[in-house]
Structure 1
Amino acid sequence: MISSMTGFARESVTTEFGVLSIELRSINHRYLETYFKLPEILRPFEVKLRDLAQNQIKRGKVEIMFRLESTGTANEELVFNDDLARKVIKLYRHANELLGTSNALSPSELMRFPNMLIATTPDPEELEAITLKTFNTALESLIQNRQSEGSRINAVIEDRLNKIEALTKEAQTLRPEAAQRLRDKLTQRLQELQVEVDQQRLEQELVFAIQKLDIDEETDRLSSHVAAMREALQRNDAIGRRLDFLTQEFNREANTLGSKSQDAQLTAIAVELKVLIEQIREQIQNIE
Structure 2
Amino acid sequence: MPVYSMTGYASAQHSGAPAGSAAEARGGRLGLEIRSVNSRFLDLSFRLSEELRQHEPALRELVAARIKRGKVEVRGYLESTSGDVLRDPSPRLLQRLGALQDQVRTWLPDARPLGIAEVIRLAETDGGAAADWSEALPRLARGALDDLMAAREREGSRVAAMMLGHLRQLRDLVQQAQPLVPQLVEQQRTRFLERWKEAMALADGAAVPETAQDRALTEATAFAIRIDVAEELMRLGSHIDEIERLVKKGGEIGKRLDFLIQELHREANTLGSKSAALELTRISVDMKVLIEQMREQVQNIE
* TM-score of the pair, normalised by structure 2: 0.74
Residue 39 of structure 1 pairs with residue 49 of structure 2: yes
| 2:147 paired residue among 110, 134, 141 | 141
Contact 2:192–2:216 (CA<8 Å) still a contact in 1?
Answer: no
How far has the Cα of 1:49 moved from its partner? 0.3
Partner of 2:127: 119
Partner of 1:227: 241
Residues matched between the structures, number = 246
Partner of 2:156: 150
Partner of 1:59: 69
How far has the Cα of 1:65 moved from its partner? 1.1
Within a 5 Å distance, the mapping from 1:1-288 to structure 2 comes to 1-16=2-17, 17=24, 18-72=28-82, 119-122=127-130, 124=132, 127-186=133-192, 189=195, 195=202, 197=208, 198-288=212-302
Contact 2:7–2:36 (CA<8 Å) still a contact in 1?
Answer: yes
Contact 2:193–2:220 (CA<8 Å) still a contact in 1?
Answer: no
Q: CA RMSD in A?
A: 2.6
Counterpart of 1:10 in structure 2: which amino acid?
S
How far has the Cα of 1:244 moved from its partner? 0.7
SS at match of 2:15: strand
Which structure: larger Rg?
Answer: 1
Counterpart of 1:130 in structure 2: which amino acid?
A
Equivalents in 2 of 1:207, 1:30: separation in Å? 46
Equivalents in 1 of 2:128, 2:243: separation in Å? 58
How far has the Cα of 1:122 moved from its partner? 5.0
Q: Deviations over 1:236-267 (max 9, x none)?
A: 43211111111111122222222322222222
* TM-score of the pair, normalised by structure 1: 0.77
Equivalents in 1 of 2:250, 2:137: separation in Å? 28
Q: Deviations over 1:59-105 (max 9, x none)?
A: 11112111211335xxxx9xxxxxxxxxxxxxxxxxxxxxxxxxxxx
Percent identical among aligned pairs is 40
Gaps of 5+ in 1: 78-116
Q: Deviations over 1:198-256 (max 9, x none)?
A: 32222222222222232222111111111111121134432111111111111222222
Equivalents in 1 of 2:131, 2:34: separation in Å? 26
How far has the Cα of 1:23 moved from its partner? 1.3
How far has the Cα of 1:173 moved from its partner? 1.3
Counterpart of 2:72 in structure 1: which amino acid?
V
Equivalents in 2 of 1:191, 1:118: separation in Å? 104
How far has the Cα of 1:6 moved from its partner? 1.1
How far has the Cα of 1:189 moved from its partner? 4.6
